Amino acid sequence: MPILPGGGGSLSHLGFGLWRYPTEAALLELALVVTGAYLYWRAARRVAGTDPNTTRRANLCGLSVLGAGVVTLAINLLGA
């Protein structure tokens, strides 16, 4: 990934070059989405305490975060 727009001349590039390996990049992004959703869900459950209604809402929010991340990743992979 270039540091500046237009390649920045002779400046070096940053990153791991994962754009050359789309399958591995997608799997890494999926792992990040799942890990982030899990951490969010775990924190929401901790804040919810023992109240069943609040716990149910925390579970729903965690699933929503996971679903939104997976949908966003799918849209990105499909190129839409």
Is 41 contained in some domain?
yes
Range of the domain at 33: 19-78
- Sign of the alpha-carbon torsion through 25, 26, 27, 30: positive
- pLDDT at residue 76 in the model: 87
Report which residue type is found at 55: T
CA distances in angstroms from 28 to 24, 32, 35, 73, listed in the order given: 6, 6, 10, 11
Is 44 contained in some domain?
yes
The total of structural domains in the chain comes to 1
- Are 69 and 40 in contact, with CB atoms under 8 Å apart? no
Q: What are the tens digits of pLDDT across the range 21-62? A: 888 989 999 999 999 999 999 999 999 988 999 999 999 999
Is 13 contained in some domain?
no
Is 73 contained in some domain?
yes
- The band of 6, judged by pLDDT with boundaries at 50, 70 and 90, is low
- The band of 80, judged by pLDDT with boundaries at 50, 70 and 90, is low
- pLDDT at residue 59 in the model: 94
Is 5 contained in some domain?
no
> How does DSSP classify residue 62?
H
- pLDDT at residue 8 in the model: 63
Is 67 contained in some domain?
yes
